[in-house]
């Protein structure tokens, strides 16, 4: 967070640490995990967590990198995502086992720390918390986006016990009155009870009516509108949040793997017209088609710290995208219909497909990493 260290998650069990100012290599954690390292998350300026395909999460202290603080066991498949609730100081992880697990890092020992399964869904890909930790967003490989509103991580959720408020396709039209209008994918609904099948529309309506309004951890199920997708379905591979909580940023690929899109969806807040049929809380505002190079690999994109730009992997480089040509704030250039993102600058310095990119939280600097392992640092001038 203070920009003193750049951490890099690598395929071959390694974590690399660099000084982003001098570009010098600081240290290699050669056996950080027993399998590919997928994600790194700082909890503060010294403590960070890593997750891996070895099904574990590890906590590290920058002041003592020779050994892990502790290793966390709880997932049964590849762990892909780490979030941190700054309000409750709880660590939140998700994996391809479909589980979202909560960890109490305040009570860690060398053997791990207390944890509980918070949520489960099939086809889980990515999970994020909004900046104020009031919502949890979950994307799936079946094209669904799940939103838990009025988030309460201390409230244990059993499968099927959460109130479902909405299940629909995101559009800019008027309210849809039936959850059947969401046109579920042929792979099935992401939410289920005891793996026996999707929750029924009757269950959704009764839960909404019983709970009323907006109870804690109320669930919204969406199939986001994706340009060019038609009826082929899509997989939401990357999920990011606007730093001010105004929008969500998705990278989607078609099920036939021949198209990729970067899409921005504005959060639409407001009281529902009635509990069974509130308006959809996301609206597609901007999008752009991507190069679709390196099929099958997930490309992680990001917002700039001020939220005015998007850095997106694009073939062997990155593109800097804006909501308009002047890099205006999203709220100052919201279109009535979905508009193309504007390409501000393209930066190419890799000899392989770029898979990830990240803005510095404090300086005008961007990092990118490619499939062959090279990390590049940029200081763009406009």
The CATH number of the domain holding residue 344 is 2.130.10.10
Whether 373 is covered by a domain: the verdict is yes
Residue 212 pLDDT grade (very low, low, confident, very high; cuts 50, 70, 90): very low
Whether 369 is covered by a domain: the verdict is yes
Reported as a single tens digit per residue, the pLDDT across 113-128 is 889 999 999 999 999 9
The pLDDT assigned to 113 comes to: 86
The pLDDT assigned to 208 comes to: 37
The pLDDT assigned to 162 comes to: 56
Three-state SS letters, 271-318: CCCCCCCCCCCEEEEEEEECCCCCCCCCCECEECCCCCEEEEEECCEE
Average pLDDT over residues 56-83: 95
The CA distance from 121 to 139, in Å, is 10
Whether 162 is covered by a domain: the verdict is no
The CA distance from 249 to 74, in Å, is 29
The pLDDT assigned to 188 comes to: 38
Residue 166 pLDDT grade (very low, low, confident, very high; cuts 50, 70, 90): very low
Reported as a single tens digit per residue, the pLDDT across 270-297 is 654 444 445 578 999 999 999 889 888 8
Average pLDDT over residues 143-148: 93
Whether 370 is covered by a domain: the verdict is yes
Whether 202 is covered by a domain: the verdict is no
Window from 139-153, 235-249, 261-275, 312-326 with minimum mean pLDDT: 261-275
Domain count along the chain:
1
Residue 203 above 70 pLDDT? no
Whether 145 is covered by a domain: the verdict is no
The pLDDT assigned to 255 comes to: 73
- Across the chain, mean pLDDT equals 83
Per-position DSSP letters for 15-56, written without gaps between them: EEEE-TTT--EEEEETTSSSS-EEEEEESSSSEEEEEETTSE
Is the pLDDT higher at 5 or at 270? 5
The pLDDT assigned to 206 comes to: 33
Q: What are phi and psi of 83, to 5 degrees?
A: -130, 165
Whether 357 is covered by a domain: the verdict is yes
Whether 216 is covered by a domain: the verdict is no
Residue 47 above 70 pLDDT? yes
Q: Which domain holds residue 276?
A: 227-381
Predicted TM-score (pTM) of the model is 0.84
The CA distance from 224 to 284, in Å, is 8
The pLDDT assigned to 370 comes to: 96
């Amino acid at each position: 967070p203070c920009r003193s260290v750049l951490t890099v998650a690598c395929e071959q069990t390694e974590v690399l640490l660099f000084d982003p100012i001098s570009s010098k290599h600081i240290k290699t954690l050669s056996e950080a995990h027993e399998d590919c390292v997928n994600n790194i998350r700082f909890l503060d300026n010294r403590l960070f967590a890593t997750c891996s395909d070895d099904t574990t999460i590890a906590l590290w202290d920058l002041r003592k990198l020779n050994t892990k603080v502790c290793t966390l066991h709880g997932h049964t498949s590849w762990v892909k995502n780490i979030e941190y609730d700054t309000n409750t100081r709880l660590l939140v992880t998700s994996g391809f086992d479909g589980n979202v697990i909560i960890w109490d890092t305040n009570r860690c020992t060398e053997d791990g720390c207390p944890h509980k399964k918070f949520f489960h869904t099939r086809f889980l890909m990515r999970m994020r918390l909004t900046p104020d930790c009031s919502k949890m967003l979950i994307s799936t490989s079946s094209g669904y986006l799940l939103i838990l509103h009025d988030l309460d991580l201390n409230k244990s959720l059993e499968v099927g016990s959460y109130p479902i408020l909405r299940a629909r396709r995101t559009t800019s039209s008027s309210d849809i009155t039936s959850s059947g209008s969401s046109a579920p994918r042929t792979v099935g609904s992401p939410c289920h009870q005891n793996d026996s099948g999707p929750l029924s529309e009757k269950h959704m309506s009764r839960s909404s009516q019983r709970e009323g309004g907006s109870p804690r951890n109320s669930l919204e199920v969406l199939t986001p509108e994706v340009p060019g997708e038609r009826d082929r379905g899509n997989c939401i591979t990357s999920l990011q949040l606007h730093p001010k909580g105004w929008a969500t940023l998705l990278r989607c690929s078609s099920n036939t793997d021949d198209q990729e899109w970067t899409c921005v969806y504005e959060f639409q807040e407001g009281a529902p017209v009635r509990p069974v049929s509130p308006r959809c809380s996301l609206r597609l505002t901007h999008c752009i088609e991507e190069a679709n190079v390196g099929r099958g690999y997930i490309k992680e994109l990001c917002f700039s710290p001020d939220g005015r730009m998007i850095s997106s992997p694009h073939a062997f480089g990155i593109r800097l995208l804006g909501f308009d040509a002047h890099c205006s704030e999203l709220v100052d250039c919201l279109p009535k219909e979905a508009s193309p993102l504007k390409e501000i600058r393209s930066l190419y310095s890799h000899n392989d497909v770029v898979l990830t990119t990240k803005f510095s939280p404090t300086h005008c600097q961007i990092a990118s990493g490619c499939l062959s392992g090279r990390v590049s640092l940029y200081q763009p001038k406009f």
